[in-house]
Structure 1
Amino acid sequence: MIEIEPKQAKGDTLKDDDLVCYCFKYTKKDIENDWRENGRSLIYRKVAAEKKSGRCNCATLNPRGR
């Protein structure tokens, strides 16, 4: 089995309730639970589909502009 270590930028530490997706209000904990329950990220698929449809507004909503 391959284990994936989370990568964080130097100095970045996310708490469970920190938003990861500002457009759709997903937190770090939401994504971790999604992965644990489904063995993959269904949230990622949802966000990717919404972004492809033009319904992503991260550049405005995310304080880092991404």
Structure 2
Amino acid sequence: MGKTVCFCHNYTVQDIEQDVQQHGRSTIIERIMAESKAGNCNCKENNPRGR
């Protein structure tokens, strides 16, 4: 398993790299940003670094 980028949604660097290869851009980053904007993010609780 690769380095986790999003602890709320369990995405890794490898997930994002594969997403870019498949779509030409990261749709995962777009989803993370939309979820965060909608208030569906618990980074402070889920991320060991508190971000």
TM-score of the two chains, using structure 2 as the length reference: 0.91
Identify the structure with the greater helix proportion.
2
TM-score of the two chains, using structure 1 as the length reference: 0.72
How far off its partner does 1:26 sit?
0.3
Q: Runs of 5+ in structure 1 lacking a partner?
A: 1-15
CA–CA separation in structure 1 for the residues paired with 2:41 and 2:5: 13
| Larger gyration radius, structure 1 or structure 2 | 1
Identity of aligned residues (%): 49
What is residue 39 of structure 1 aligned with on the other side? 24
Q: Which has the higher contact order (CA 8 A, sep 6+)?
A: 2
Question: 4+ residue runs of structure 1 moved beyond 3 angstroms?
Answer: none
What is the CA RMSD across the aligned residues, in angstroms?
1.0
